[in-house]
Each structure stands twice: as C-alpha cells, then as structure tokens.
Amino acid sequence: MTSSTATSSDVAGSVRDRHDAMHAEIRRRICLLDYPPGQRLSEVSLAEEFGTSRTPMRRVLARLEDEGLVQSLHGVGTLVTDADIAALEQEYHLRLELTELTGRLDPVMPDGAFITELDRLITRGADMIEAGTPREFTAFDMEVFQLLLQLTGNLPLRDVLERLYYKTKRIWLTAAIEAQLDLHQEFRIFHHELEAIRIALQSGDLDAVAHIQRAHISMSFQRLRKKRD
C-alpha cells in the first residue's frame, strides 16, 4: 500500500516536472525572440517536438497565456503577444515594489552552492562586457534572475515576480536588437551590480541585495524609456 502510494506520487511528480520543463523552454524561446511577437505556435508541432500528446501541450500553452506571453484567438490559433514598454509600464512599477520585499519576506541565506554559482555568473558577466551579444546577455540575465529568486522562501512572491519578469523581459532584447542601447554600458553596469550583490551577501545583508536588484530594475527601465522617447 505504501509502495503503491509512493509510486503514484513519483509518477505525478515526474509528469509535473516534464510539463514544467516544456513550459520553461517555450517561455525561454519567447523571451529570446526565437518566437517573435505575432508568431503562431502550433500545438501539434510543439507536441511532436517535445514527444508528448496535444493535451499536455495545450495545458502548457494555456499556462503561458495566463502569464501574458501568448494569446489564443478563435479561428487563428495561439500567437505570441507583443511586449511594449508603454503597455507594460505598470508591470515594471509592480516589479520594483515587490523586488524590495524579497529581502524582508521569508529571506533565505545562501549556501555554499549558491555562492559558487553566483561567482560563476560574475565571471561570465565580466567576459560578456567585451564579447557578449544581446541574445547571450538576455539568456545570462534569466540565469541570474532564477538564482537570486532563491533568496526568498515566500512562494507567492516568487510566483508573481517570475510572471512579471518574463512578461517584461523581451523589451530589453528588442531595444538592443534595434540598436537603441549602449551594449557595452549595459553589460558593464550589470556586472558591477552583481559584484555589489556578492559583497552584500558576504555581509549577510539580504535587504541590501533586494535594494540593489530594485535599483537595477529602476535604472534599466529608465534607460529603456529614455530611448523610446
């Protein structure tokens, strides 16, 4: 009886993990503009690519729609949504306020594995200053975001922050591709911010880490808005 229950639980967890992996990969492609705004996503083609049936893929696409990354239109299909700084300005403002809470709501002190990974990312960030591309930097930024999200154990806060981050992430890459940003400056600033976060963590000051992240979002948004104007 116990063995059967454990097996059922393991199967459910495996299925959930697989769905999460499909969701994360399609979301990643959207944020890297591999699937640009307006592109139709074929449920059949994606199911075939990921080796699954249409039903779980339909659930993954519904989850992405709930997050604002795709839109399902009757008679048309599932289309990748656009990401415009004017339309998403309120989302940026909410990210600002919620990011500051990560240092106060169920803060989690990093362990050795976390610090090792952060140091690896800081080294990569230094290399990117001279040779990074907009797409590489966006993928890099997503890795940093996912790592720093571990510094709060408040699951509802993490969920909302993740939704807001990925909904707005494409704006930076679009601007960079359109040559509206000084890439060398963007990479250099971000690397300095990572170093500041490392110093704050050495002091055990998670509130300072949250403020550094908040400042990063604020300044990045202001630079994007200035280029738009």
Q: Please check the confidence at residue 12 and state whether its pLDDT lies above 70.
A: no
Q: What whole-number percentage of the chain has pLDDT above 70?
A: 94
> What tokens appear for 138 in the block?
């966006």
Interatomic CA distance for residues 224 and 89, integer angstroms = 11
Interatomic CA distance for residues 69 and 132, integer angstroms = 26
Per residue in 124-137, pLDDT (tens digit) is: 999 999 899 999 99
Q: Please check the confidence at residue 176 and state whether its pLDDT lies above 80.
A: yes
Q: Could you tell me if 29 and 73 are in contact, meaning their C-beta atoms sit under 8 angstroms apart?
A: no
Write out the H or E segment, with its range, that includes residue 42.
none
Interatomic CA distance for residues 1 and 4, integer angstroms = 5
Q: How far is CA 220 from CA 68, 83, 104, in A?
A: 21, 16, 23
Interatomic CA distance for residues 31 and 81, integer angstroms = 11
> What tokens appear for 46 in the block?
């994606």
Interatomic CA distance for residues 66 and 60, integer angstroms = 10
Question: What is residue 110's DSSP assignment?
Answer: -
- pLDDT bin (cut points 50, 70, 90) of residue 1 is very low
Interatomic CA distance for residues 31 and 124, integer angstroms = 20
Q: Could you tell me if 52 and 94 are in contact, meaning their C-beta atoms sit under 8 angstroms apart?
A: no
> What tokens appear for 225 in the block?
């808005």
Interatomic CA distance for residues 111 and 93, integer angstroms = 31
- What pLDDT is attached to residue 2? 47
- What pLDDT is attached to residue 13? 66
Q: Across the chain, what does the average pLDDT equal?
A: 92
Q: Please check the confidence at residue 61 and state whether its pLDDT lies above 50.
A: yes
Per residue in 191-218, pLDDT (tens digit) is: 999 999 999 999 999 999 999 999 999 9
Question: What is residue 105's DSSP assignment?
Answer: S
Per residue in 219-229, pLDDT (tens digit) is: 999 988 887 76
Per residue in 83-122, pLDDT (tens digit) is: 888 888 999 999 999 999 999 999 999 999 999 999 999 9
Complete domains list, the chain, with CATH = 11-80 (1.10.10.10), 85-227 (1.20.120.530)
- pLDDT bin (cut points 50, 70, 90) of residue 74 is confident
Which pTM does this prediction carry?
Answer: 0.90
